Chain A
Amino acid sequence: MKRIDHAEAASGFIAAKAHQEFHDRRLWDLRLKRDREAHGIPEWEELRNLASQIKEHTLARLADYLEEFETRAKANGAHVHWARDAAEHNQIVYDILAARGAKTLVKSKSMLTEECDMRPFLERRNIAVIETDLGERIQQLDDEPPSHIVVPAVHKLRGDVSTVFARTIGAEPGNEDINYLAETQRRTTRPYFLRAEAGMTGANFAVSETGSFVVCTNEGNADLSANVPKLHIASIGIEKIIPKVEHLGVFIRLLSRSALGSPITQYTSHFRAPRLGGELHIVLVDNGRSERLGMHDFWYSLKCIRCGACMNTCPVYRRSGGLSYGATYSGPIGVIIDPTFDIRKYGNLPFASTLNGSCTDVCPVKINIHEQIYKWRQIIAERNQLPFVKKEMMRLAGKVLADPRLYRAAISATGLALEHLPRFAIYNFLNPWGRQRELPQPPQQTFRSWYLENRSRS
């Protein structure tokens, strides 16, 4: 498997200036909206603490809670399936659909089905899969994965959407009116809701005491997918379990405030039992989660409720775009989850961070994201997975920073170099930092020489 080169992949995105600037602004705006909501609730920090404690408690006793969930769900009349990995998940879903002759599946957004690469699997077996969330539909029609876990097409501008819709669903070419584009998707998706034999959702939370699960959307597309066709399949990662209904109060108060800066999603939907005459199937999926649970430093990432706040605040994510990570999960949460799937393929991702810690500060379940990023760097360095230039530069930097004399010599040489060396000597492959930026003007005087002149006598 080829290693993802995040910096290289990001260069195209950075070159598209209008897109990059809009992306940066839009996500930062979400961060500011999140702040306003968080500051409006006096108990915000207490809620974060509660959320973190509930999740840590549940993960430590996950097997018991999973068993309780299964027992209750079955008693409610739901069918419960277990999938060890993506392949088993996809097969289970296919078998349920095939046994009922289902040809069309309408679905709401689910990062888990992205992780399992389910859509192509079903499509190869002649089942039409229709993503119904607007952003996700745009991405499906453009044959791209989502670039953000909450706003999947945030890297696209209206002109891009117009082009995709004109090419695929008969929108008027050149019409870039956002109302028109959204209406076109509504008009062309609705017949699928009415025709589909099956609907699929993910789940934001699964409650063990009731065997029920909760789906949060703003469009109502999960409710259409689950409430119009007779058959409802829900794919749920095993880490989504929480023990009690009353815990939902904590998580629902945090989720949309952290994600979009709204007090709640337009629809917070609770599915406990199939509707009369309907059928409900729940697929509980491991796909690496039990493995991650055993990773001493990294199991905390299983607390994640997929709000995307860490992505919106991350300067690297905002400027590089989600697709440059080349993985299902991008941004700070992605760079600590992705290496658990494949350390070689995703070994570069933990370096896509400035370690500023802002992700940790906004995380509603208090995952120590930036510390985990740092720990991944150590592991990747120990396993000798660093690219040659980075390794050599770091070795050199380590020597220089450890020795005051070498450091002083280097600083004065750098000042001279920045002032006098030609551009090609500074902006080259040995200096990836300078690829998209100008290096700063060196100061006229170093702090040390100023100190020696002004303070050393006193």
Chain B
Amino acid sequence: MTSRDAILAAVRAKAPAPAASLPHVPLFERPSASHLDEFRENLLRMGGKFAETKSSGNLADLVRSLFPQARVVCSATAEVTGTRPLGAETDPIALDDVDVGVVRAAFGVAETGSVWLSEEELRVNALAYLAQHLVVLLDPGAIVPNLHHAYRNSRFKAARYAVLVTGPSATADIEGVLIHGAQGVRSLTVVPLPRQ
């Protein structure tokens, strides 16, 4: 008997009698004055930053003004031109020296201040982790109220890799002192900007 069959047989033999049927999960909707305000509040709480800009024409300037020291800017969105091209075939290791990564999120979650990214948005998944800083464009019209709404999005079923990113990399593993940039990006800045 293979281990697979042995485990399944044991689990079948030992399983408790079915108790509850699978419950329906409601959306738990709550009235909200502004999903964008709620999103911003939670993003800031989670250590993220919020930077507004007038129009997409100023994006490159905005990135430069946020990170004047940056030498390597790698963009996964056509809305910003980086200093180095990025394609799905780029070796992740080549992103080691990236100072700033730029990406457009598919949507945001007001309850948590999270943005949703997959391999389609990132081109190379490691961009969101190997870069020192991450700038995320987010359409204010694409913010869902809470995680129940987020998980109804069918893209979870199609993406190879999907991540809800909430603020920068963080740790409080030494005496509970909060440190940003534990392993991944040191900062995360969300720029609210309607999709072109």
CA A158 to CA B173, docked complex, whole Å: 10
Are A66 and B11 in touch, CB under 8 angstroms? yes
CA A194 to CA B161, docked complex, whole Å: 20
Sample (23) of A-B pairs whose CB atoms are under 8 Å apart: A42-B30, A56-B20, A57-B20, A84-B6, A138-B174, A182-B173, A194-B93, A219-B169, A219-B171, A219-B184, A220-B169, A220-B185, A224-B184, A238-B7, A249-B25, A250-B25, A262-B46, A264-B46, A267-B163, A270-B156, A270-B161, A276-B88, A293-B14
CA A268 to CA B162, docked complex, whole Å: 8
A245 adjacent to chain B (CB < 8 Å):
yes
| A224 contact from B130, B148, B156, Cβ within 8 A | B130
Q: Pick the most buried of B15, B30, B183: most chain A CB atoms within 10 A of its CB.
A: B183
B164 adjacent to chain A (CB < 8 Å):
yes
Q: In chain A, what residue has the closest Cβ to B96? A: A194
**A217-276 contacts to B (CB < 8 Å):** 218-221, 223-224, 227-228, 238, 243, 245-250, 252-253, 260, 262-276
Chain B residues near A194 (CB-CB < 8 A): 93, 96
| A221 contact from B113, B161, B165, B182, Cβ within 8 A | B182
Among B54-62, B76-84, B121-129, which stretch is in contact with chain A?
Answer: B121-129
Chain A residues near B47 (CB-CB < 8 A): 266
Q: How does the 8 Å CB contact mask read for A129-150 relative to B, with 1 for contact and 0 for none?
A: 0001111001000000000000
Chain A residues near B184 (CB-CB < 8 A): 219-221, 223-224, 267
A284 adjacent to chain B (CB < 8 Å):
yes
Chain B residues near A209 (CB-CB < 8 A): 157
Are A263 and B111 in touch, CB under 8 angstroms? yes
Are A227 and B7 in touch, CB under 8 angstroms? no
CA A276 to CA B19, docked complex, whole Å: 41
B31 adjacent to chain A (CB < 8 Å):
no
Q: How far is the CB of A285 from chain B (nearest CB, A)?
A: 9
CA A96 to CA B13, docked complex, whole Å: 31
B179 adjacent to chain A (CB < 8 Å):
yes
Q: How far is the CB of A154 from chain B (nearest CB, A)?
A: 8
Are B171 and A264 in touch, CB under 8 angstroms? no
Known: A182-B171, A266-B165. A63 touches B8 (CB 8 A): yes
Please classify how large the interface on chain A is, using the bins under 10, 10 to 19, 20 to 34, 35 or more. Answer: 35 or more
Count how many chain B residues have C-beta atoms less than 8 Å from C-beta atoms of the other chain.
75
Are A22 and B175 in touch, CB under 8 angstroms? yes
Are A57 and B21 in touch, CB under 8 angstroms? yes
A286 adjacent to chain B (CB < 8 Å):
yes
A181 adjacent to chain B (CB < 8 Å):
yes
A449 adjacent to chain B (CB < 8 Å):
no
A151 adjacent to chain B (CB < 8 Å):
yes
Count: A-B pairs, CB below 8 Å: 250
CA A245 to CA B160, docked complex, whole Å: 14
Are A268 and B4 in touch, CB under 8 angstroms? no
A374 adjacent to chain B (CB < 8 Å):
no
Q: How does the 8 Å CB contact mask read for A60-94 relative to B, with 1 for contact and 0 for none?
A: 11110011001000001000001110001000000
Are A273 and B152 in touch, CB under 8 angstroms? no
Q: How far is the CB of A241 from chain B (nearest CB, A)?
A: 10
Known contacts A182-B174, A194-B93, A220-B182, then 6 further A-B pairs from the complex at CB < 8 Å, ordered by chain A residue: A134-B174, A263-B46, A263-B112, A272-B157, A272-B159, A290-B7
A161 adjacent to chain B (CB < 8 Å):
yes
B85 adjacent to chain A (CB < 8 Å):
no
Are B23 and A266 in touch, CB under 8 angstroms? no
Chain B residues near A272 (CB-CB < 8 A): 157, 159-162
B101 adjacent to chain A (CB < 8 Å):
no
Are A284 and B7 in touch, CB under 8 angstroms? yes
Known: A264-B166, A269-B163. A246 touches B148 (CB 8 A): yes
Q: In chain B, what residue has the closest Cβ to A55? A: B20
A152 adjacent to chain B (CB < 8 Å):
yes
CA A250 to CA B15, docked complex, whole Å: 24
Q: In chain A, what residue has the closest Cβ to B28? A: A43
Q: In chain B, what residue has the closest Cβ to A195? A: B93
